[in-house]
Amino acid sequence: MAIDVKICGITTAEAMDAALAGGAAYVGLMFYPPSPRFLGLDAAQRLAERVTTPARRVGVFVDPTDEALAAILAHVPLDALQLHGQESPARVAEIRRHFALPVIKAVKIAGSSDLDEARAQEAAADILLFDAKAPPDRPGALPGGNALSFDWRIIAGERWALPWLLSGGLNAGNLAEAVRTSGARAVDVSSGVESAPGIKDPVMIRTFLAAARAL
C-alpha cells in the first residue's frame, strides 16, 4: 500500500531537497509566527520555488485573515492551504471559494467526540488532517507540531467523504504501527524528522520517507 507523505514545517533548502528527492507528496511551509518553523515571505518564496517535482506546496495557517492570505499568495506559489486553527466550516468554505485553492483542514483529536468536528468539515474542506489535541495542562502548546500522538484507534474503521492525513507524533519508528492501526493512506510529519524544534534533519527525512515506501 503506497503511503503519501507530507513533510511539514520545512525551513531550509537542504530539508526541502531531501523531501523532494525522497518522494514526498506534500511539502509544508509554516506561516504561523509563534512556531519555530515560521517563514518570512522571502524565505518561503525561495523554498517554494525549489519544488520541481509533483509535490504539492502547502501553506500552513492558523486562523488567517483574507488580507494575510492574499499578501502571502502574492509572493509565494502555493498549491494548497492548510488551516490549523479554529476555523469553522463556514470559514473554511469561504477561504476555499475566495482563493480557489484546495484546503486541508486540521482537526484536533483527543476522544471520539472530536470526530463530530471532522464530520462538520467534510462539506467545506478538500482534505482532512487528524492531529493530536494538546492537553489542557500543557500551556503554550502550538496548534500542531507538538510531537504528541492521539489514540489512533479512535479513527480506525471510520469512513470519510474526503481524503485524509494522519498527523501527530509520527516518526520512522512508529509509522508502520500508526498506519496499521488507523488505516491511514497519507501521513504528515514535522517534529518526527527534526533534530531540534524547527530544525529538520535531512537524514531523518530520508529515513521517514524510506519507511513509508517500505509499507
Domain coordinates in residue numbering, the chain: 4-214
114 catalytically annotated: no
User: What mean pLDDT is predicted for residues 139-144?
Assistant: 60
SS3 content of the chain, % helix, strand, coil (to 5): 35, 20, 45
pLDDT in tens, 97-126: 999 999 999 999 999 999 999 999 999 999
Distance CA 35, CA 176 (A): 28
Catalytic residue among 8, 79, 116, 137: 8
* Given the residues 131, 137, 188, 201, the one annotated as active site: 131
The pTM of this model reads 0.94
Note if 131 is an active site residue: yes
Q: What is the mean pLDDT of residues 80-95?
A: 98
Supply the pLDDT for residue 145. Answer: 55
Q: Tell me the pLDDT tens digit for each residue of 166-176.
A: 999 999 999 99
pLDDT band of residue 142 (cuts 50, 70, 90) is: low
- Cα–Cα distance measured from residue 109 to residue 149, given in angstroms and rounded to the nearest whole number: 9
Average pLDDT over residues 7-18: 98
Mean pLDDT over each residue of the chain, to the nearest integer: 94
The CATH superfamily holding the domain 4-214 is: Aldolase class I (3.20.20.70)
pLDDT at 147: 75
Helix extents (H) in 139-187: 175-182
Q: Check residue 139 and give its pLDDT.
A: 54
136: pLDDT strictly greater than 70: no
72-86, 107-121, 136-150, 198-212: which has the minimum mean pLDDT?
136-150
